[in-house]
Amino acid sequence: MDYEALAERLLPGDYPDLASYEELYPPRALPKGAQVTRLAPSPTGFIHLGNLFVAIANERIAHQSGGKLYLRIEDTDLKRKVDGAVEAVIAALDYFDIRFDEGAQIGGDDTYAPWYQRQRAEIYRAYAKDLIRRGRAYPCFCTEEELSALREVQTANKEITGYYGKYARCRNLTEAEILQNLDAGKPFVIRLRSMGDPSHKFIFRDEIKGEVTVTENDQDVVILKSDGIPTYHFAHAVDDHLMRTTLVIRGEEWLASLPIHLELFDVLGFPRPKYGHNCSLMKMEGGSKRKLSKRKDPELSLSFYRQEGYHPFAVKVYMLTLLNSDFEEWHMKFPDKPLEEFKFRIEKMSRSGALFDLDKLNDISRTELSRLSAEEMLAFLKEWAETFGSDKEKAYFSDEAYLLKVLNLCMGTAGKKRRKDFVTAGQAMGEIGYFFGEPQQKDEYRVDNETKNAVLAGFLDVYDEADDAQAWFAKVKSVAASLGFAAEMRDYKADPSAYKGSVSDVAEVLRIAVTGRANSPDLWTIMRILGGERSRARLAAAKA
């Protein structure tokens, strides 16, 4: 077999000398220990919580080590392409403070460009041509039908499916047969001529999983599709070598194809990068765990969190607590330190898949939002409302001084006594709704109508908006006492049967009348913010 002629026939034309690529894309001059990592999404534009999960790990390790993080676009599959997807990916990650040093649409250093795989077609072909010359790759003319028929036979025989060994029909085609197919104009793909022995197993050290058992690859995988575009496997090897990636952190769904990648790096004469296979985020469904899926879990898309108004910082904190088990403790100890100061360690990454826990995220969100100042909270709500708020909610921002008073109340005044009423921007906007327009009655009065009206009438008689908190509360107590309720909680507790109820029951009537709900922050302050006129009107309206 004249491999040289075959290579020329299959991939005609002059391709750059492979050594020239080594010069064009030289090893990076980086400090010792620096890691070069990358994110390599396909351009669907869909960013998923799982992507963010891996992205944070890649970003932390690159930047913490003084290395680089770059963005490569895996657009080898045209079916997945969506316009504006790259910008969407960049924007989505930027929202979580993940910045690339170089890559598609980034600007920065373009030494290792192009960043779109479609634009790198010539490079892959040059390497593929070399493989053909060396007899390590060959054309395959099998049709999809033949391939699926083969798969059926293998399945029926309970054999391993795929293109390998005796099933690799085109592997041993004679030169004449190949030429005949070519002359007939049959489409073909280029396959790797695997030299692996599946009975050989070896230990590979994964940066996250530790030692894993790998079986040598013997699949003659497709490296160049019939349109001359590489498959993921081949592009991965060529790109990650030429872009000088040192550490590939990716989802564990890739672990199964590691043998292929290792053989590819070896046959291409590239040093292997380090790998870290990250567990995937799981979801509970029908009593069993399952990997988060783009198709089935639209609520796990990043845009969902944005829409709900989760603070990006909170989401990041949650991701980090799942990523590094000692992060949570560190963050609780030093809540004010920037996240970058946490020493992220790849060896602390979990080996098993974590279930996504909304309760935990909500708790973190509450805590992180409570650390914001009222001004910061206002800015955060405002930004959210601009795109996601209703017209009514947008109007909340027409009087920022007023809104600030509301936020100060709901967040607790400065320093120690912080409240944690807010989880997300969307929820917070609903929470403060009763300060704007008429309150919606969400909770029912627990006293009878007659008592309710008596409380309202009694309080309306003595209410003075100028009262300070103490005087105000004294009046609530006096109303309580006059209607047979205990003015002091301890009196009530000492002998509940002696009273109709306690001052808290009276306060509840007032609270529901003013806010529409049985639970709220300090009522006196609420009435202060609303002002005497509006407070009085609400009390009166409730009486009717």
SS3 of 165-195: HHHCHHHHCCHHHHHHHHHCCCCCEEEECCC
Residues 448-467 that bind RNA (CB under 7 A): none
Nearer to RNA, 259 or 389 (CB): 259
Task: From 136-144, 379-387, 394-402, 430-438, give the range in contact with RNA by CB under 7 A.
Answer: 136-144
Helix locations, 373-432, DSSP H: 374-388, 391-394, 400-411, 425-431
| DSSP secondary structure, 270-323, as one string | PPPPEEEEEPPPEEEETTEEEE--TTT-GGGBHHHHHHHT--HHHHHHHHHHHH
Residues 24-43 that bind RNA (CB under 7 A): 40-42
Q: Which of 357, 376, 467, 491 binds RNA (CB under 7 A)?
A: 357
Task: From 105-113, 274-282, 333-341, 382-390, give the range in contact with RNA by CB under 7 A.
Answer: 274-282
Find, among 374, 371, 432, 383, the residue nearest to 404 by Cα: 374
The reply to whether 102 sits near RNA by the rule CB under 7 A is no
The reply to whether 418 sits near RNA by the rule CB under 7 A is yes
Q: Which of 20, 111, 180, 325 binds RNA (CB under 7 A)?
A: 325
Residue from 186, 225, 291, 294 carrying the catalytic annotation: 294
Which helix (H) or strand (E) segment is 538 a member of?
A: helix 532-543
Which DSSP letter does residue 106 get? T
> Distance between terminal CA atoms of the chain?
99
Q: Residue 522: CB partners within 8 Å, gap ≥ 6?
A: 409, 469
The reply to whether 143 sits near RNA by the rule CB under 7 A is yes
The reply to whether 308 sits near RNA by the rule CB under 7 A is no
Which helix (H) or strand (E) segment is 251 a member of?
A: strand 247-251
Residue type at 17 in one-letter notation: D
Q: Which of 14, 359, 450, 533 binds RNA (CB under 7 A)?
A: 359
Q: Which of 99, 134, 200, 201 binds RNA (CB under 7 A)?
A: 201
The reply to whether 169 sits near RNA by the rule CB under 7 A is no
The reply to whether 295 sits near RNA by the rule CB under 7 A is no
Q: Which of 337, 348, 392, 442 binds RNA (CB under 7 A)?
A: 348
Which DSSP letter does residue 73 get? B
The reply to whether 280 sits near RNA by the rule CB under 7 A is yes
Contact 155, 161 (CB under 8 A): yes
Nearer to RNA, 291 or 394 (CB): 291
475 annotated active-site:
no
Which helix (H) or strand (E) segment is 22 a member of?
A: helix 18-24
Nearer to RNA, 161 or 478 (CB): 161
By CB atoms closer than 10 A (0-12, 13-18, 19+), residue 464 is: exposed
Task: From 45-53, 382-390, 455-463, 511-519, give the range in contact with RNA by CB under 7 A.
Answer: 511-519
Q: Nearest distance from residue 110's CB to RNA, in Å?
A: 21
Q: Which of 329, 383, 386, 438 binds RNA (CB under 7 A)?
A: 329
List residues with catalytic annotation. 294
